[in-house]
Structure 1
Amino acid sequence: MNNPAVSQYKDAQKTAVDIIESAVDIKFNSADDVHIEYGMGASWLTRPFAVITHILKGSSRLYFDMDSSHSIDRSAGATTFISAGAWRKSEVLSVNGAHFVWVRASFTLFGGLDLLNFFYVPRIFPKSSSAAFRGLLKRVIELENDGKMPILEKAVSRKMLLYKILSLVLEHSQPNTNTLELLTLAQRLSPAMTYINSHYDASISVGRLASMCAVSSSRFHRLFQNAFNVSPLEYQIRLRMKEAQKLLLFSDLNIAEIASKTGYPDQFHFSRTFKSRCGESPLKYRTSSEKGRYTL
């Protein structure tokens, strides 16, 4: 005789898996094998992608949340996770420096939601997972340095490795208590999400988004707020800021051009918004991020 509670749990699990499988997207940013000298790193930094770091030799301290009292110490063999958007700075404690391997990537749902926000991900993974993480990170780096592999084969191989890294991260993470409910709601709002993700640089009316989901404007606003804990406008602004961060980090566009590409015809309005959201002006963000590119 079937247990209704067990059946309900299995159905819920299958629903969550189906939603994630159909909506998850992984975008690779960069990977490297670096040695960092003894001492404090640059000032506080934030980046629009997650970082998985493994320390091969030495030790370091990682500070979080713009608060030096929030820190973790890492020694050889430790694997750490830094979420997209997290503020941090690092300090190498070992006098001979520290040796790291790392991968930076975005793990999203429906083109814009951070998948890992639906889970509690530890900042330091268990030692038992050390060898697995180290092996995967090194394989990504080796793949990036392979100049002979055909482009299509490299792209597919890299995607497979990133999915393995994500799987290992989730193996040691716990879903939030309302993850299934939020995923189901996010799926219902996905037509609007897809539209915002593709048109974040334009003016978007709530009425238009609501019609895509076949609900009234007021109900859409309420559902969106319940699902993502932000309004549609706030979500759009966050997408703009994330894209601006990427352009500041990885393009040669000037500030006015970046402002225009992210939906701000007025450069000064863009700069004010960016500073209020990211803690420093666009120019300072670009400069400090270059100085602290190996803040791990």
Structure 2
Amino acid sequence: MWGADLFEIRIHHLEVGRGFCPDGWVHEKTVPFGIIAQATCGTYELQTESGTYVVTGSEAFLTPPHLPLRIKHIADAATGVMTMRYVHFQFYLMDTFDLFHLYELPHKCNPEKGQQFGELIEKLLALRDTIPSGAASITAIVTKNELAYRLLSLLLELAKPSENSASLLSAAQELQPVLAFIRDHWFEPIDIDLLLSKFAGSRSILFQLFRKQFQQTPMEYVKSVRLNEAYRKLCTSDTPVAEIALTSGFVNSFHFSREFKGKFQMTPTAARKANKLWMSM
């Protein structure tokens, strides 16, 4: 019998791809989703705030959301080619916040785990390249979800809970009504009084819990959700930037671009171009 305290884990974002690039190409970015990437020919050199990682052969690199990355692509010496496969992922806990807010991922995995990631990515790529209809499309969705959760299972085998994961989870449970409201209404006008109306405690406790859980004020968190969702729209649609700005809760495109660049170190237009380049290689 399943315990009543189990939490739902939902696939919020899953994007898979493969490609090639010239030797020495460097991609610098900060993104609102996790990445698993593997060089199928050549080598990755990954730089993060914690150090530099050389990833080659069947190894793969793993990075959580919102981590500044510098990714150098090094061609295979024999062929002069660099090819790769990758998946961008985001799993939500309680349908409200990123699961990997509670875990720490190693930035590199061994060849054995890398091979398992590679096999799952290949299956997701094969599924992406088919266009089923009718009942077959339902089967494809189920298969995609199965592969995504197998991917998550592998990630959790490598991850370790953060030191404060238990207290973070407790805070998230207390904030659940507020987080759920933000999830459903992030694109609408929201102020602190509206958030307080969804919370059973006082204003000071609300601020304390948000600081503990997200290192942000409630309204800073709302802005962060809006920017994350806007980034996802930029990467998955051709909607004009100005329209994304207005439908993401920002007063105008100038305000949106300023806040977006502050969070992701590039303009919305540059982020869209970089993602299209990354996905088309």
TM-score (norm 1): 0.84
Deviation at 1:35, TM superposition (A): 2.9
> Corresponding residue for 1:53?
37
Residue of 40, 56, 72 corresponding to 2:25: 40
Could you tell me how far apart the structure 2 residues matched to 1:280 and 1:222 are? 31
- Give the Å deviation of 1:53: 1.6
What's the counterpart of residue 15 of structure 2? Answer: 30
Alpha-carbon RMSD across the aligned residues, in angstroms, is 2.4
Flag structure 2 segments of 5+ consecutive residues without an equivalent: none
Shift of 1:293: 4.1
2:60 pairs with 79, 83, 95, which one? Answer: 79
Q: 1:224–1:232: 8 Å Cα contact kept in structure 2?
A: yes
Shift of 1:37: 3.1
Mapping 1:176-187, distance limit 5 Å: 176-187=162-173
> How far is the alpha carbon of 1:285 from its aligned partner?
2.7
How much has 1:151 moved relative to structure 2? 1.0
Write the letter of the residue equivalent to 2:43. S
- 1:227-258 Cα shifts (integer Å, max 9, x gaps): 22211111111111112212222222222211
One of 86, 108, 111 as aligned partner of 1:102? 86
Quick check: 79-88 or 115-124, which moved more? 79-88
Contact 2:43 2:73 in 1 (8 A): yes
- Alignment partners' CA distance in 2, 1:283 and 1:58: 30
Superimposed CA distance per residue, residues 243-281 of structure 1 (whole angstroms, 9 cap, x where no aligned partner): 221222222222221110111122222222222222232
Answer whether contact 1:112 1:239 (CA < 8 A) is retained: no
Residue in 2 aligned with 1:10?
none
2:226 corresponds to 1:240? yes
Judged with a 3 Å threshold, the aligned counterparts in structure 2 of structure 1 residues 107 and 172 are, in CA distance, closer, same or farther, namely same
- For residues 169 and 16 of structure 2, what CA distance do their matches in structure 1 show? 30
- Runs of 4 or more, structure 1, over 6 Å off, are none
Which stretches in structure 1 are left out of the alignment for 5+ residues?
1-13
Counterpart CA distance in 1 for 2:274 and 2:127 is: 29
Q: Give yes or no for contact 1:247–1:258 (8 Å, CA) kept in 2.
A: yes
* C-alpha separation in 1, matches of 2:13 and 2:268: 23
Of 162, 175, 198, 1:212 maps to 198
Q: Deviations over 1:153-178 (max 9, x none)?
A: 11111111111111111111110122
Name the counterpart of 2:147.
Answer: 161
Letter in 2 for 1:34: G
Aligned residues: 275
Q: Partners of 2:130 and 2:40 in 1: how far apart? A: 22
In the alignment, residue 55 of structure 1 is paired with which amino acid?
A: A
SS of structure 1 residue aligned to 2:85: strand
Letter in 2 for 1:22: F
3-state SS of paired residue (2:29): coil
Q: Which amino acid in 2 is paired with 1:224?
A: F
Residue in 1 that maps onto 2:102: 118
Closer, same or farther: CA 33–293 of 1 in aligned 2, 3 Å: closer
Q: Is the 8 A contact 1:30 1:103 kept in 2?
A: yes
Share of identical aligned residues, percent?
25
Q: Cα distance, 1:73 vs. partner?
A: 0.9
Aligned-partner SS, 2:7: helix
